[in-house]
Structure 1
Amino acid sequence: MIKVPRGTQDILPEQSYKWQTVETIIRDTCNVYQYKEIRTPIFEHTELFTRGVGDTTDIVQKEMYTFEDRGNRSLTLRPEGTASTVRAYVEHKLFGQPDQPVKLYYMGPMFRYERQQAGRYRQFVQFGIEAIGSADPAVDAEVIALAMDVYKKAGLKDLKLVLNSLGDAASRNAHKEALVAHFAPRINEFCGDCQQRLEKNPLRILDCKRDRDHELMATAPKLTDYLNEESAAYFDRVKAYLDALEIPYELDPNLVRGLDYYNHTAFEIMSTASGFGAITTLAGGGRYNGLVEELGGPSSPGIGFAMSIERLLLALEAEKVELEDTSASDAYIIALGDAPKMEAMRLVKQLRDAGVSAEMDYADRKLKAQMKSADRKKAAYVFILGEDELASQTVQIKHMATGEQQLVAIPEAVTYLQKHKEESR
């Protein structure tokens, strides 16, 4: 028997309605905020990610699915969505549009070769937004507000927003020198990854999961202490806008995020639900001024975030939030006999043409078995067609919630159901 590859999953019908529900919430929220969908290829040229994500990141060094095509070109299954979105922004000259920032969202599968654990897969579904073309700190607050709105509309309550500033290039360079001086005398006590990061990107040492409990981590220089006047003022404006939106947050000077392109605002949204697990991060993002230029475009500051749909569903489960299954059938047609079945086929087609969700039996089962099937499908109404009903051109319609049953002329059955559905709303 061939099984699903390690790190992937099948989403069966009894679970897929949950995905559809949260995807609808996401799309509706993006529409309210006027973010438009962009769809990029699932694979890109490898160079896009080595330049865009950064060659010192774990994603590029350890987690990418990279292969050569028949033309000996190096291609990579996308591990995240920002680089692809920025590439499209540059390639299609969206920077030339009169209204900036250009506000985009994406939703689809990403691929990373990492150890599978709760809510983390090698193929996972990510939703993200990118606002490109504005350096206004108000945009930072809007991006964070959109993420929080998605979670709240889905039903989550146990949330925590954590905030930090990575500053501009000058601030980060000053902080980098301080980090090197701090870690260098004892860097041999750290893992091989951290030793490599010391010169290339020492900020990433603070994000190391293996050495997180080392005593030097607690005393490491804080980036916020090295923010220059301009960076500090920018961060103050972001916090002021969040205060105006009544979005609570906590400051964490050690929050650095795992990708090289971040600067200024960085944030994560975490679940505080009991029993959610050791990895509490649901979403993360930040500002990436300079990434558009790195990928060949003009100066176009941007900010965005990404969230895992799998982890959103896990958080809903931890908070015991039940999502409504909207896939229930409006009507289930029971046919008892060959001739009634022919009429049932016509009736099902008429109901579906009228926009009514309808189903019927295809196993020629007895009445009791068909009633059980209708119940499993959570049908609101059951239509019963037997030889007697067919002879009188009528159908028995039973309202499953109340048990009320009525004999209705077959030509009037669709109108009858539509009317009762409208009255029950």
Structure 2
Amino acid sequence: MTGLQAPRGTRDILPEEQMYWQTLETQACQILERAAYRQICTPIFEQTALFERGIGEATDIVGKEMYTFSDRGQRSLTLRPEGTAGVVRAYIEHGLHQQGGVQRLWYTGPMFRYERPQSGRYRQFHQLGVEVLGSGDARADVEVIALAFDILKGLGLADLTLMLNSVGDRSDRSDYRQALIDYLTPYRQDLDKDSQERLDRNPLRILDSKDARTQEIAQAAPKLLDFLSPDSQEHFQRVKTYLDQLGIAYTINPCLVRGLDYYTHTAFEFQSRSLGAEATVCGGGRYDHLVTELGGPETPAIGWAMGLERLILLLQQQSSSPTTNLDFYLVSRGETAEQQGLILAQHLRHRGFRVEMDLSGSAFGKQLKRADRSGAPGCLIIGESEAAAATVQLKWLAQGQQTVVSQGELLTLDLRSHLDQAREFATEQSTSDAP
């Protein structure tokens, strides 16, 4: 043993957990593709200036949480702490705005922030996000919210609450910022340490504090909604009206400001009571000035990101184990039988079936026990007698039915329908056995 371990705040995603990830990503991909969203991939590290300009130097992310380093050319680079800035940089660099129309993009991958590790929160974490660039219409706001709602509901997640707010435009926030500073300044010594530091450089983030005393003080603070211009009020009203028409319930939270400087107008979060204090599973908002700030043309935009580790926690709470995707477990013993098993497994895989081949060479009893534990509906058995006759025993594990067929005939059978029947039978058995 060398004593080497994964760095603090990182974790290995082991094979038995991967099926949760695959379920989540497949579900999200299907929903997003139906809405004409296209996938984009950006580098894991970018120039540090991208995040300083895009996220804001006064934010906790830039000031405290980024993994920044100098490469051999003495260029300052940063592991991406979030996905939006990189997508916007790619949008500008590759002239996607010149293609005309609205760009609907989605991404997934690891992000990095130096935070205190806790349940569902790591220093290397994964996000799935969407960005809609080129539309300032309130329907774009509601479209991305509805897609997040569909993904979360499609995963069977319960106890979800959509928190909604408007942070207005720059002029609205400028007026509100001063009013908030005027209100909070007499309470400076009563605020938590982080909020005292934010009072001068980023007072809106104080509204997001988790400190109980700071929250109590913030409850009586002026509300940003009271400082919205008529245009901002109209945009927010349209968002609420469209959500009502779609039947998506929401709660107005005037303290919801999100942690990034680039947000304008709509800000939102989906929260789950199942996660305790770290309740947010998806958050986002509109950012109509970010493209311009990063050197591109004036482009309204909106997006969101989901923390995948938190979603996986919720999925694991709902189900003790994910469903296996395996179709057949192949058991063989003896040199000729093992050779035929290898060939048969490959033929079945070429036909789209998921086949695991036992490579242990151990006794049939031990191999069959592993077949039972594999979760595969079907087991294929080749011993010396089957090898001599070029046959295979096909056993449906849940039903206990077993037949002998030639290896050539096996490849012509309607195995799909048999697999569906076997899985349906297994589901009925587990339901009837449940207390």
Q: What residue in structure 2 maps to residue 46 of structure 1?
A: 48
Q: What residue in structure 1 maps to residue 380 of structure 2?
A: 383
The answer to whether the aligner puts 1:305 opposite 2:273 as a matched pair is no
SS of alignment partner, residue 140 of structure 1: helix
- Which of 387, 391, 407 is 1:410 aligned to? 407
Q: What residue in structure 1 maps to residue 236 of structure 2?
A: 235
SS of alignment partner, residue 415 of structure 1: coil
Q: 2:138·2:235 contact (CA, 8 Å) conserved in 1?
A: yes
SS of alignment partner, residue 96 of structure 1: helix
Cα 1:370/1:98, change in 2 over 3 Å? same
Q: What amino acid is aligned across from residue 38 of structure 2 in structure 1? A: K
Q: What residue in structure 1 maps to residue 430 of structure 2?
A: none
Q: What residue in structure 1 maps to residue 357 of structure 2?
A: 360
The answer to whether the aligner puts 1:325 opposite 2:345 as a matched pair is no
Cα distance, 1:204 vs. partner? 1.6
Cα distance, 1:389 vs. partner? 2.0
SS of alignment partner, residue 55 of structure 2: helix
Q: 1:155·1:321 contact (CA, 8 Å) conserved in 2?
A: no
Q: What amino acid is aligned across from residue 30 of structure 1 in structure 2? A: L
Q: Deviations over 1:373-401 (max 9, x none)?
A: 11121222222222222222222211112
Q: What amino acid is aligned across from residue 98 of structure 1 in structure 2? A: G
- Which of 76, 81, 93 is 1:74 aligned to? 76
Aligned equivalents of 2:170 and 2:215: distance in 1? 27
Q: What residue in structure 1 maps to residue 253 of structure 2?
A: 252
Cα distance, 1:67 vs. partner? 0.2
Cα distance, 1:410 vs. partner? 1.8
SS of alignment partner, residue 124 of structure 1: strand
Q: What residue in structure 1 maps to residue 427 of structure 2?
A: none
Q: Deviations over 1:149-203 (max 9, x none)?
A: 1100001121000101111112111111111211123323334433333333221
Aligned equivalents of 1:391 and 1:264: distance in 2? 74
- TM-score (normalizing by structure 1): 0.95
Q: What residue in structure 2 maps to residue 22 of structure 1?
A: 24
Cα distance, 1:96 vs. partner? 1.2
**Percent pairwise identity:** 50
Q: 1:59·1:112 contact (CA, 8 Å) conserved in 2?
A: yes
My pick for the range that moved more, 242-251 or 386-395, is 386-395
**RMSD (Å) for aligned C-alpha atoms:** 1.7
Aligned equivalents of 2:77 and 2:40: distance in 1? 21
After superposition, where does 1:272-283 map in structure 2 within 5 Å? 272-273=273-274, 276-283=275-282
Q: Deviations over 1:124-162 (max 9, x none)?
A: 000111111111011101111011111000011210001
Cα distance, 1:281 vs. partner? 1.2
Q: 1:132·1:302 contact (CA, 8 Å) conserved in 2?
A: yes
Q: What amino acid is aligned across from residue 224 of structure 1 in structure 2? A: L
Q: What residue in structure 2 maps to residue 398 of structure 1?
A: 395
Aligned equivalents of 2:137 and 2:46: distance in 1? 30
Q: What amino acid is aligned across from residue 371 of structure 2 in structure 1? A: A
Unaligned stretches of 5+ residues in structure 1: none
Q: What residue in structure 2 maps to residue 131 of structure 1?
A: 132
Aligned equivalents of 1:215 and 1:39: distance in 2? 42
Cα distance, 1:213 vs. partner? 3.5
Q: What residue in structure 2 maps to residue 143 of structure 1?
A: 144
Q: Deviations over 1:215-236 (max 9, x none)?
A: 4312111000111111111110
Q: Deviations over 1:54-84 (max 9, x none)?
A: 0111100110000000000000000000111
Q: What amino acid is aligned across from residue 81 of structure 2 in structure 1? A: P
Cα 1:407/1:180, change in 2 over 3 Å? same
Aligned equivalents of 2:162 and 2:180: distance in 1? 26
Q: 1:335·1:361 contact (CA, 8 Å) conserved in 2?
A: yes
Q: Deviations over 1:201-260 (max 9, x none)?
A: 221221223465454312111000111111111110110011111100000111111111
Q: What residue in structure 1 maps to residue 159 of structure 2?
A: 158
Cα 1:27/1:214, change in 2 over 3 Å? closer
Aligned equivalents of 2:212 and 2:75: distance in 1? 37
Q: 2:324·2:376 contact (CA, 8 Å) conserved in 1?
A: no
Q: What residue in structure 1 maps to residue 108 of structure 2?
A: 107
Cα 1:379/1:423, change in 2 over 3 Å? closer
Q: What residue in structure 1 maps to residue 223 of structure 2?
A: 222
Cα 1:212/1:55, change in 2 over 3 Å? farther
Aligned equivalents of 2:408 and 2:248: distance in 1? 56
Aligned equivalents of 1:194 and 1:343: distance in 2? 69
Q: 1:190·1:211 contact (CA, 8 Å) conserved in 2?
A: no
Unaligned stretches of 5+ residues in structure 2: 425-435
Aligned equivalents of 2:276 and 2:413: distance in 1? 50
Cα 1:12/1:70, change in 2 over 3 Å? same
Q: What amino acid is aligned across from residue 168 of structure 1 in structure 2? A: D
Cα 1:339/1:254, change in 2 over 3 Å? same
- Which of 317, 337, 342 is 1:340 aligned to? 337
Cα distance, 1:370 vs. partner? 0.9
The answer to whether the aligner puts 1:179 opposite 2:176 as a matched pair is no
Aligned equivalents of 1:268 and 1:360: distance in 2? 45
SS of alignment partner, residue 21 of structure 1: helix
Cα 1:268/1:136, change in 2 over 3 Å? same
Aligned equivalents of 1:99 and 1:278: distance in 2? 40
Cα distance, 1:420 vs. partner? 4.7
Cα distance, 1:405 vs. partner? 1.2
Q: Deviations over 1:281-319 (max 9, x none)?
A: 11111111111100001110111111101111122334x
Aligned equivalents of 1:76 and 1:144: distance in 2? 29
- Which of 370, 373, 382 is 1:373 aligned to? 370
Q: 1:162·1:252 contact (CA, 8 Å) conserved in 2?
A: yes
Cα 1:277/1:333, change in 2 over 3 Å? same
The answer to whether the aligner puts 1:295 opposite 2:294 as a matched pair is yes
Aligned equivalents of 1:211 and 1:408: distance in 2? 70
Q: What amino acid is aligned across from residue 372 of structure 2 in structure 1? A: D
